Structure 1
Amino acid sequence: MAQRSLPVRALWFVFVGWWATPIVVNVAWALNVTVVLLPVGIKLINLVPTVLTLAEPRSLSEPESARGQRSLVVRGVYFVLVGWWLSLLWANVASVLAVTVVGLPVAVWMLNRLPYVTSLYRFHG
């Protein structure tokens, strides 16, 4: 699917993305604490760039996107040892930066990379 235009994505961020993203991050992190709902939490974190700016993720069925992904075992081990706590810290730092004009570009950059920080998932292949 093609990316939406920059003006549409900017308007989304101004009216929805800036406040919806922290909600999605916190709900996802709460789900990640459970064993049963962990897959839903990871899926929500992988959608953070879309919630933030309507960025379209590449499908894992696309060969160029799947090729750049680490194995599920590696991603699982990384998540258990590092991703679960680093993603919470990363998202909260980004949220604090997002409320400042100077920090906003860094916050957007950080939130777009949240799926990778959480589980080594490459959002844009």
Structure 2
Amino acid sequence: MIIRVVYFILFGWWAAVLWSGAAYLLCLSIIGLPLGLIMFNRLPQILTLKPVSAINAVSRDLLTTKQEFPFPIRALYFIFLGWHLTGFWVSIALILCITVIGMPLGIMMLNHVPFVLTLKQRY
């Protein structure tokens, strides 16, 4: 726990800002979109060194019961709204992660970045 706290204070949030910026740029291209989504899925791990399976266990169970949106709707959402909203969403999440009180909400928001970006229910 102490190692994770020191990592977060010294490196974690800086690495998370750079990581999310790179993932956001990859998501702007069709070719880089899959890698960008994988990077967004790993963002909480980059921020806190917490294993991904422990972070996403609850949110995966909650999201798998919902039906997937059709691909054309998801594509239009991504083009017209998704990538704009994701930039705002990640910025707010990283600001929340800087504060101790807002960190749980910030990590939860980072877990849901793929849904905000593409409306993908299961990731």
Give me the TM-score of the superposition, normalised by structure 1: 0.66
User: Is 1:45 matched with 2:40?
Assistant: yes
Identity across the alignment (%): 29
Q: How many residues get paired?
A: 111
Q: Structure 1 residues 15 and 122 mapped into 2: Cα distance closer, same or farther (>3 Å)?
A: farther
1:55 aligns with 2:52: yes
Q: Please give the residue correspondences for 1:9-28 in structure 2 after superposition, counting only pairs within 5 Å.
A: 15=7, 18-28=13-23
Partner of 1:4: none
CA distance in 1, matches of 2:3, 2:111: 17
Unmatched runs of 5 consecutive residues or more in structure 2? 58-62
Given that 1:115 and 1:123 are in contact with CA atoms closer than 8 Å, whether structure 2 keeps it comes out as no
CA contact (8 A) 1:12 1:54 kept: no
Q: CA deviation at 1:100?
A: 1.1
Per the alignment, do residues 102 and 33 of structure 1 end up closer, same or farther by CA in structure 2, a change over 3 Å counting? same
Aligned partner of 1:71 in structure 2 is 70
Q: CA RMSD in A?
A: 3.1
The list of structure 1 runs, each at least 4 consecutive aligned residues, that deviate by more than 6 angstroms after superposition, is none
Structure 2 contact 41–111 (Cα < 8 Å) conserved: no
TM-score by length of 2: 0.67
Deviations 1:7-63 (A, max 9, x none): 6xx9657636544332221101112233432332233224434544322368xxxxx
